[in-house]
Structure 1
């Protein structure tokens, strides 16, 4: 996995919606601006053994926003229809090579990846884990993550980035006040 995309949100669909960084802020940044970036994301997170080269990123954007809406808003009929349309697409299928290795195949890997992401999101919102989906407390982050901490009190999507920044800010404020 490359450092180009963030991982570690706890579910594949949560890592996917984080490709729109700093959502809703003046620092909002699109990590999937073109088909090449979408292909790189699939290569980093998907199950396929060979590189995927999509010709469009449009379905990925639509699916990402539908998944985000599913996880954060009341479900509007148009969003539900989009999710159901994507969920009906064929998902990657496993196959065993002559060497006994597992490979995942699809006639249309980008569409299969979208279907896989929507399946993961639908599974998440209908599971008990959904109660542990949190929004990062970082003031400019807002990423969603699955809180797998024992007490269920995790505040940041990443202790190394957002948590560290918060601790630095607290330290600086105390040092300045003291």
Structure 2
């Protein structure tokens, strides 16, 4: 699946040169894996909704550094932009975290986390269908590798 993800990247924009900022992606992946492990640990003690509430509120608290001037920016933004932010906060964020917490509460982390490889191909497919983005042959080939590996991992587990 990792090879498939690399093929998707290569097929879309090319590999290019190394940038130190790319290490932030590795830090994000490490942080997410720690989050999954902690979430699984506490899923026996707390409900999925409680875990998600703690997660969302902790993230909101950390974003508090942007609070100065927030009211001014929100009032100056068009209504459609504020509505889009609200919809993005509810559906792809809160609802996705709630569903993921439910999955982790009822399965093993190692079994459920392999499905996360489906996020890039599904996002690219949605971008192509909903936004009219161009998907190259290399991206489609990488998506096929990712999907094949996810199905193989699920079958082996």
TM-score range, shorter chain: under 0.3
Q: Which has the higher helix share?
A: 2
Q: Which has the higher strand share?
A: 1
Scaled by the length of structure 1, the TM-score of the pair is: 0.25
Scaled by the length of structure 2, the TM-score of the pair is: 0.27
